[in-house]
Structure 1
Amino acid sequence: MRLKQQLTIAFIVSVLSLIGFSFIAFTISANEYLKFDEVVIALVQGLESPLLTSIMKFFTYIGSTSALIILSLFILFFLYKVLKHRLELILFSAVIIGSPLLNFMVKLFFRRARPDLHRLIEIGGYSFPSGHAMNAFSLYSILTFLLWRHITAKWARVLLILFSMSMILSIGISRIYLGVHYPSDIIAGYLAGGFWISISIWFFQRYQDRRKNKDMQ
C-alpha cells in the first residue's frame, strides 16, 4: 500500500472515530444513561457465574495500568532488540503514553459517574470514556500495526488480528460485566482509541516520508 493511501486511510479513520465519539458524548450529555446501556448491561450481567467472574476479573487486570506498563516494556524490548526498528519505538511510546493522558483529560471534562446497578468490584474515578477500553484499543492496534510489517504469512496476519480483536473486546466486555462501565463508555473508549492511534500513525508516516525525501536530496 502506497504512503498516500496509508495517510488517507489514517485520516479518514481519525475523522470517523471523532464523529462517532462526539455523537455518543452528545447523547450521554442529554441523558444520564441510554436505553441501549440498560439492555446490554442486563444481557451481559445475566450471564453471571463464579467462573465467568474470575475470567472477567483476569481480563480487567490485563487492561489495568500496571499490566499495560509491563506489556509495554516487553514490547519495547522486543522492538529494540529483535526487530531492530528503533524509530518505531517513538510511535509505540507516543501511543501508549498519550492514550491514558488523553483519557484522563476527557474524563475530567465529562465527569460521568460510574453505573451503580450491580457492581462486582469497587473502583473510583469517572466513567466516560472507559480507560481500559481506550488503552486496550491503543495497545493492541499499534502492536498489530507494527508487527504487520514484519509478518508475511497470511495465516499469521489473521491470527494477529484475531488475537488483538479478542483482547480488545474481552477487556471491554469485562468492564460491563463487572458493573464499572456503561456499554456507551466502552464504545466511546474504542472510538477515542481509534482517533488517537490513527492520528499518531498519520504523523509517524508523514515524518517517515519527509525523512526519506530529505535523505534522497
Structure 2
Amino acid sequence: MKLKFQLSIAFVLSVIFLIGFSVMALTISTHEFLNFDGAVITFVQGFESPILTSIMKFFTFIGSSRSIIILSLLVLFYLYKVLKHRLELVLFIAVMVGSPLLNLILKLFFQRARPELHRLIEIGGYSFPSGHAMNAFTLYGILTFLLWRHISTKWGRTLLILFSVVMILTIGISRIYLGVHYPSDIIGGYLASGCWLAISIWVFQKYKESKKQRG
C-alpha cells in the first residue's frame, strides 16, 4: 500500500511539473514575464556588494557541472560502499546523466539569449532553462529521496530537507544575482528537473513494485 501511494505521488508530481514547465515555456516571451524577470533581477541585484558577489560566485561554482560531477562521484561511492544499495545507485546514475542531456535538448529547442542587463561574470550558451537550476534540483532532490529512508529521526529529516531547499534556492538565486539568467530560466529549470526527477522515481518505484510481486 505504501509503495502504491508513493507511485501515485510521483505520478501526480510529474504531471504538475510538466504542466508548470509547459505553461512557462509558452509564456516566457510575453510582456508579463519580461516585466517579472526585470523586476526580480533589479531587486536581487540591488543587494550587490563585494562580499555578496564572492558568496554568489561560490554557490554558482557549487552548482557547476564540474562540482556536480565530483559530488555525484562521492554519492556513488557512498551508495555502493557504505549502503550497498546497487538499485539506488542505478537510479542515481540515470537521474544525474539524464538531467544535463534534457537541459541541452531544451536549450537547443528554445534558444533563448541570456540577459544583458548587468552581468558580473561572462558566460556563453543559451539561457532557458537554467542548467545550474536543473543540476541543483536534480542532485539535491534525488539525495533527499535516497537518504530520507535511511534517516529515522524527525529532526534529521527536517535538516535534510532544509539543506536541500537552501542549496537549490541559493544556487538559483546566484545565477540571477550574477546576471547570467532570467528568473524565469531558474523557475523553468526547477520545473523541468522536477518533472524528470518525478518520472525517474515513478519508474524506480514501479520496478520495485513489480519485483516485489514477482518475489
Q: For the superposition of Structure 1 and Structure 2, which TM-score range results when normalised by the shorter chain? A: over 0.9
Q: C-alpha separation between the residues in 1 aligned to 2:81 and 2:32?
A: 49
Deviations 1:47-83 (A, max 9, x none): 0000000000000000000000000000000011111
Correspondence for 2:136: 136
Between the two proteins, the alignment pairs up a number of residues equal to 215
Q: Which amino acid aligns with 2:123?
A: I
TM-score normalised according to structure 1 size: 0.97
Matched, 1:22 2:12: no
Q: C-alpha separation between the residues in 2 aligned to 1:150 and 1:32?
A: 44
Q: Which amino acid aligns with 2:105?
A: M
Instruction: Map residues 104-183 of structure 1 onto 2, 5 A cutoff.
Output: 104-183=104-183
Matched, 1:92 2:80: no
SS state at 1:200 partner: helix
Q: Which amino acid aligns with 1:114?
A: R
Q: Which amino acid aligns with 1:161?
A: I
Dislocated runs of 4+, deviation >3 Å: 29-33
Q: C-alpha separation between the residues in 2 aligned to 1:153 and 1:36?
A: 40
Matched, 1:36 2:36: yes
Query: Which blocks of at least 5 consecutive residues in structure 1 are unaligned?
Result: none
Equivalent pairs: percent with the same residue?
Answer: 72
Q: Which amino acid aligns with 1:52?
A: L
Q: Which moved more, 1:183-192 or 1:23-32?
A: 23-32
Structure 1 residues 76 and 201: alpha-carbon distance in aligned structure 2, compared to 1, 3 A threshold: same
Q: C-alpha separation between the residues in 2 aligned to 1:3 and 1:67?
A: 33
Q: Which amino acid aligns with 2:8?
A: T
Query: Which blocks of at least 5 consecutive residues in structure 2 are unaligned?
Result: none
Q: C-alpha separation between the residues in 2 aligned to 1:43 and 1:30?
A: 20
Instruction: Give 1:29 shift.
Output: 3.8
Correspondence for 1:72: 72
Instruction: Give 1:33 shift.
Output: 5.5
Q: Which amino acid aligns with 1:179?
A: G
Correspondence for 1:10: 10
Q: C-alpha separation between the residues in 2 aligned to 1:110 and 1:7?
A: 31
Q: Which amino acid aligns with 1:125?
A: G
Instruction: Give 1:31 shift.
Output: 5.0
Correspondence for 2:207: 207
Deviations 1:125-144 (A, max 9, x none): 00000000011000000000
Correspondence for 2:56: 56
SS state at 1:34 partner: helix
Instruction: Give 1:25 shift.
Output: 0.7
Q: C-alpha separation between the residues in 1 aligned to 2:198 and 2:127?
A: 23
Instruction: Give 1:86 shift.
Output: 1.0
